[in-house]
Amino acid sequence: MNVHLEKFVEVLMQPMALVGVVGQICFSSRFIVQWIASERKGESVVPEIFWYLSLTGGSLVLIYALWRHDPVFSIAQGAGLVVYVRNIMLIRRRRRQAETTEV
């Protein structure tokens, strides 16, 4: 086995790598969810679950990046979390406003 593949497998076998892999699966699945929602509606839409998958996946990948001491990946994921949280806040605010106007 070559040295690079051995190193890859060594990292992948660490328990913390599971956090990174699960995070990346969550993060990537948000695009499939968005695509399906858009196809069903016949136009481009971003369902609420997209932001929760972004937040969950991004958080797990950030934890993994911090564990790996990767500043570039950590900064990128950390910045994304701000956007995901803000979108969730906006959705919740709109929902609260809609509930108060229905009463």
In a domain, 49, yes or no: yes
| Tally of structural domains, the chain | 1
* Residue 70: DSSP 8-state: -
pLDDT beyond 90 at 9: no
> Above pLDDT 70, what percent of the chain?
98
In a domain, 67, yes or no: yes
pLDDT digits (tens, 9 = 90+) for 24-69: 999 999 999 999 999 999 999 999 999 999 999 999 999 999 999 9
Please tell me the predicted confidence (pLDDT) of residue 7: 86
Tell me what the mean pLDDT of segment 65-86 comes to: 95
Please tell me the predicted confidence (pLDDT) of residue 79: 95
pLDDT beyond 90 at 10: no
Tell if the pTM clears 0.85, that is, is over it.
no
Task: Show the domain range for 88.
Answer: 17-102
Please tell me the predicted confidence (pLDDT) of residue 1: 64
- Give the pLDDT band of residue 11 (cuts 50, 70, 90): confident
In a domain, 3, yes or no: no
In a domain, 8, yes or no: no
In a domain, 25, yes or no: yes
**HEC profile of 1-58:** CCHHHHHHHHHHCCHHHHHHHHHHHHHHHHHHHHHHHHHHHCCCCCCHHHHHHHHHHH
In a domain, 5, yes or no: no
